Structure formats: C-alpha cells, structure tokens
Amino acid sequence: MTRHASRCLALALAMLVVLAGGATLGAGERSITDRDIASKVRAGKFAEAEKLARERLAIVERESGAESVEAANVLDLLSESMRRGGKGGQAELGEICERAVRIKEVKLGKNGPGYAASLYQLGYWHYVNGEYDKAEPMLERSLKIREETLGGANPDVACGLLMVGVLRSEQGDHAAAKPYIERALSIRETLDPDGPGVAECLNALAGISVRSGDYATAEPMYRRAIRIWTGAWGAGHPKVGTGWNDLSTVLYATGDFAGALECKERALQIRTRTLGPQHELVGWTRANMGMNLAALGRKSGARKQYLTAIGIMEHRFGSDSPEVGWILKRLGDTYIEPGHYRQAVPILERAVANLRAGEGTDHPDVGEAMAALGAAKTAIGDTAEGNRLNREALTILRTRLGASHPEVGFTLTQHAGALAVAREPGAAVEEALEGEEVSREHLRLMCRTMPERAALAYAASRPSGGRLALSVLSSVPHPDSETLVRVWDSLVRSRTLVLDEMTTRMRAASGARSRCETSYRKPECSASPACELDRGWSRGYDSQCLS
C-alpha cells in the first residue's frame, strides 16, 4: 500500500470515527423521551427530570418547532419537574406554563385532555404563588375537562380533584374541600395503594382534619404518608421533610410540644439540605418551629425563628403578603402576656391587614389574628375596641369552623385573660366559663378516639377557662356564691372527663375479657396449655380495647 493510500485510509477511518461519534451523540439525544422524564418524576428525582426535560425541549424545538404540541408536552413535564423540585414559585415557571397553554389552545383547542394538562400546571403555579382567584377557575376547568374525557378512575383526574380540594381548604372551606380529596384518595388507592399519590392525598386529608380539630384522625394519616414517601423515595427526600413538618402540627395541637419540635428539626434539616436555606418551605418550617418553642416557654428562641421566617417570606412573597401576615400573627402571640401587650398591638395590626388583603375578610386566619389583636387591645385598656374585635373574630370562627371548634374555645379564654388584666372580673369569668365549655366538649370528642396517654396530654395542655375563672375569682374580695359554684362545677366536670372516659374503656375491656374467658373456659383450666393460649388471646384483646 502506497503512503498516499495509507494517508487516505487513515483520513477515511478518522472521518468514520467522527461520524460515528456524531451519530452516537445524536442517538443519545434522541433517546430522551417524554416517558423517561415522567419516570424520573415518579421516582422523585425531580432535579434529574428537570435536566432531561430541558435537553429534550431543545431537541424537540429543533426538530418539531418551538410552537409544536410536542414542545408544549415537554413544557408540561418541565413545569412538573420544577414545581415538585421546590421551584414552584419561580417566575420562569410561570412563563413556561403560560407558553404551554398558549400552544395547546392554538393547536388543540380548549376542550381536550392535552389542553387540560397545561391549564392544570398554570393553575397550580398561581396557587403556589398565593393567587387563588386566578388558580381557581383554571383548576376547576382542567378538572372538568379531564373528568369528561378521561373518565373517573384516572390519575390525572385524581390530581385535579386533589388540587381543587387543597385550594378549597386554603380558602378556609374545609367542608367543601374534603369530598374532592377523598375522591382523589379513592382513585389513588385503586391504582397504587402504596404509591406517592396516596401519600399526597393522605397528607391533604390529615391537614383538613387538623384544621377541623379532629386530631385523632389526622395523626395516623400523616404517619402513613411518611412511611409511603420514605419507602418510595428515601428518608432524605423533600417530601419526607414535608411529612415530618405536617405531623408536627397534630403533635403540637395535642400538647406533645417536645415531639412536635423533634419533627420540625428533622423537617428543617431535610429541607435546608435539599432546597436551600432561603426556600419558602424552610421559612414555613422555621415559623412552625417558633410555635413549638413558644409553647415550651422559649419565647426568645421562638421570636428568632419567626423573624428569620418573615425575612424569607418577605423576599419571596412581599412584605404585604398573607404569608408574612400568618407569621406576624404568631410573632404577635409571643407578646400576649403581662408586660408585653403594647408590643403585640402593632405586630398584630399588620398581621390583620396582610391577611385581610390576601385572604378576604372572613377567612379563619383573619379571625384568629383579630382575636389576638382584640385581647391585646383589651389588656392595655382599650376595652371597647378589644371587645368589638373579639366579637367579630368569634363570628368568623363560629361561621367558618363551627361553634364547637377548639379555636373558638381558645379565643374566648384568651380574651377572658385580657379582661382580667383590664380589671373586669365579671366579664372575664363569664367568657372564661364559656371558653371552658367549648373546650371541654371538644376534649370529650377527642377522648373517645385518642389513646389514653395522648388524651391526658391534650387535656393538660389545652387552655383552661375554668382555671382562669377560679384565678380571677380568687382576686375578688367577696365573690358571688352562685358564680363560685358554677366555676367549681365547671372545673370538676373538666377534670373528671378524661378519667370517666378511661373508666368506660376499662369497663368495656373487662366485660369483653369476661365474655372471652366464659366462652373459652375448659375443664381443669389451670393445667391446660390450651387455656394459656386463651389467656394470651384475652390479654391481646384487652390491649386493643384500651389502645
């Protein structure tokens, strides 16, 4: 072979290598499919899904066009990856969602499932950014299209039902929210009983239960959601952090403040590591940690967490946002105590203004903030304004949450304490007794379903209007004997409620054991191995009854 021929062969081989490399690269690019991206999302690998979606989008735009349906489908996957990866509030994501909707509307019309998918993503983006008035029609329209075109037992229908339910709950209408989420859970349970979609629904339902005061129902749902997410995506996944964060709310509500704080610390560690220290979910976690610290008497630490959270939320949502208002209310709560009421007033006034502007005048959050502001105003001597705010707050809470909700009892007891500070003992005792009655009725409902230890902890941690009323009367030189009898009667009824419930359970368990022993009694029982089996079964039955 001549030198010239050798050089030609070498050049030809080099060209083949280059071409082969180029072909491999092209094949590698084309190997990314929509299904690959969706698979990463299902596996909880949202950062990887986003990376693949961006690569896939560049290819599809080059091959099919930037305004093609194929490009819009990838945009939907990109928005899903970003949102679930903790980037739900970014302006870029809103632009991606709007572009997908625009393409689908032109290419497919406004009545098909493809358009509904993009509309759902855009509605979700508005929801994450607190723009509920824009999110609501989009999510409802998307759900209607999906139900009409895809049928009932479809995962996309379940997604739509869940989001409409979550939005209703955020708007304060928990009764309307619940059926949507229950339908979503039913679909998810049918399709994949141990899938992350089931955990999403359980977590949302548990949140409604907490807001409705049904703590005993909420805790097992939160714990099951955590187990599912951990099994699917690992203990360090952001969704597991969400689970721990939300579980802490029910532990806090039932008086397990140390347990709630431990959950919050786990959530904060996961979220800070995976999302960054300035992410809004880190801000929410810090705000909730503040509540736990305040309940444990660590007011200074609580205020530090609140202020850090407010800084994060102001940067993310703006200083006049309802998100900032919600945390301001909790910060104000730390000053609802003797010697600090005046410091609470400006904080709570700003909280009420933010919440009213962002959530409407009759939202339960507004009612809670107005109640705190009313207590502060009353305590510093502005009794007329404090009473007015308290009455308005109670109207909101009774209308939206129900007259027997624990928040109603807390509001009455809180204002009674302020009336006592303002030296109005008669009004203070009456509101304290009314608050005790509401609180006791809720305690009665909780005791029927709570384990004994949890019921006792909840009874000990709840605000006691009865104790407050007795304390007020002790400062009165000559209390009215009839009022004194009413106060002691209220105290005794509340103190014995949990013990009465425990006694009822013990009697039921004892009766069940007697029936079991009678049914399974055999001759020469003491020497019979079979009888030991029966006793063991009976002990197991008792423990189930008692728990």
pLDDT tens, position by position, 458-479: 666 677 777 888 888 888 787 8
Q: For position 502, what pLDDT does the model report?
A: 61
Q: What percent of the chain has pLDDT over 70?
A: 82
Contacts of 148 (CB under 8 A, 6+ apart): none
Angle, alpha carbons 120-124-126 (nearest 5°)? 120
DSSP type of residue 153? S
Q: For position 338, what pLDDT does the model report?
A: 85
Mean pLDDT of 224-238: 95
Is 235 a domain residue?
no
* Ramachandran class of 256: left when φ > 0, alpha when ψ lies in -120 to 50, beta otherwise: beta
Contact 433, 487 (CB under 8 A): yes
pLDDT at 8 over 50: no
pLDDT at 14 over 60: no
Q: Which residue has the higher pLDDT, 396 or 444?
A: 396
Please state, in angstroms and rounded to a whole number, the distance separating the CA atoms of residues 327 and 321.
10
pLDDT at 527 over 70: no
Two tokens, residue 238: 């952001």
Confidence category of residue 448, pLDDT binned at 50, 70, 90: low
**What does the DSSP assignment read for 418-433?**
HHHHTT-HHHHHHHHH
SS3 state of residue 181: helix
CB atoms within 10 A of CB 217: 15
Q: For position 406, what pLDDT does the model report?
A: 84
Is 485 a domain residue?
yes
Mean pLDDT of 301-307: 96
Q: For position 29, what pLDDT does the model report?
A: 45
pLDDT tens, position by position, 479-516: 888 888 888 888 888 777 766 666 665 565 555 444 44
Window from 299-313, 357-371, 415-429, 495-509 with minimum mean pLDDT? 495-509
Kindly state the helix (H) or strand (E) to which residue 533 belongs, with its residue range.
helix 529-546
Is 509 a domain residue?
yes
SS3 state of residue 373: helix
Mean of the per-residue pLDDT values of the chain: 83
Confidence category of residue 452, pLDDT binned at 50, 70, 90: low
Contact 541, 516 (CB under 8 A): yes
Is 374 a domain residue?
no
Longest distance between any two alpha carbons in the chain, whole Å: 125
Q: Which residue has the higher pLDDT, 215 or 354?
A: 354
Mean pLDDT of 12-18: 33
pLDDT at 451 over 70: no
Rounded-to-10 torsion of CA 397, 401, 403, 405: -100
Contact 471, 427 (CB under 8 A): no
pLDDT at 433 over 90: no
Confidence category of residue 205, pLDDT binned at 50, 70, 90: very high
Phi/psi for 339 (5° steps) reads 90, -10
| 341-359 helix and 364-379 helix, angle to the nearest 10 degrees | 160
Q: For position 446, what pLDDT does the model report?
A: 67
Is 525 a domain residue?
yes
Nearest to 414 by CA among 336, 303, 332: 336
Q: For position 503, what pLDDT does the model report?
A: 67
Highest-scoring range by mean pLDDT, 39-48, 328-337, 467-476: 328-337
Q: Cα–Cα distances in Å, from 503 out to 215, 216, 352, 497, 510? A: 22, 19, 45, 10, 10
Is 178 a domain residue?
no
Q: For position 494, what pLDDT does the model report?
A: 76
Q: For position 526, what pLDDT does the model report?
A: 34
Contact 410, 370 (CB under 8 A): no
Mean pLDDT of 133-150: 96
Please state, in angstroms and rounded to a whole number, the distance separating the CA atoms of residues 26 and 59.
10
Please state, in angstroms and rounded to a whole number, the distance separating the CA atoms of residues 457 and 447.
11
Please state, in angstroms and rounded to a whole number, the distance separating the CA atoms of residues 413 and 433.
8
Confidence category of residue 122, pLDDT binned at 50, 70, 90: very high
pLDDT at 339 over 70: yes
CB atoms within 10 A of CB 434: 19
Q: What percent of the chain has pLDDT over 90?
A: 54
SS3 state of residue 534: helix
Q: For position 28, what pLDDT does the model report?
A: 41
Phi/psi for 354 (5° steps) reads -60, -45
Structural domain including 499 reads: 432-547
pLDDT at 50 over 60: yes
Contact 264, 244 (CB under 8 A): yes
pLDDT at 272 over 60: yes
Two tokens, residue 2: 């001549």
Nearest to 57 by CA among 36, 86, 42, 83: 36
Is 25 a domain residue?
no
Confidence category of residue 17, pLDDT binned at 50, 70, 90: very low
| Domains identified in the chain, total number | 1
Mean pLDDT of 345-361: 94
Phi/psi for 382 (5° steps) reads -90, 70
Contact 439, 408 (CB under 8 A): no
Please state, in angstroms and rounded to a whole number, the distance separating the CA atoms of residues 233 and 270.
13
Please state, in angstroms and rounded to a whole number, the distance separating the CA atoms of residues 307 and 347.
12
Mean pLDDT of 16-31: 38
Contacts of 509 (CB under 8 A, 6+ apart): 541, 542, 545, 546
pLDDT tens, position by position, 74-119: 999 999 999 988 888 888 999 999 999 999 999 999 999 999 999 9
Contacts of 455 (CB under 8 A, 6+ apart): 446, 447, 498, 501, 502
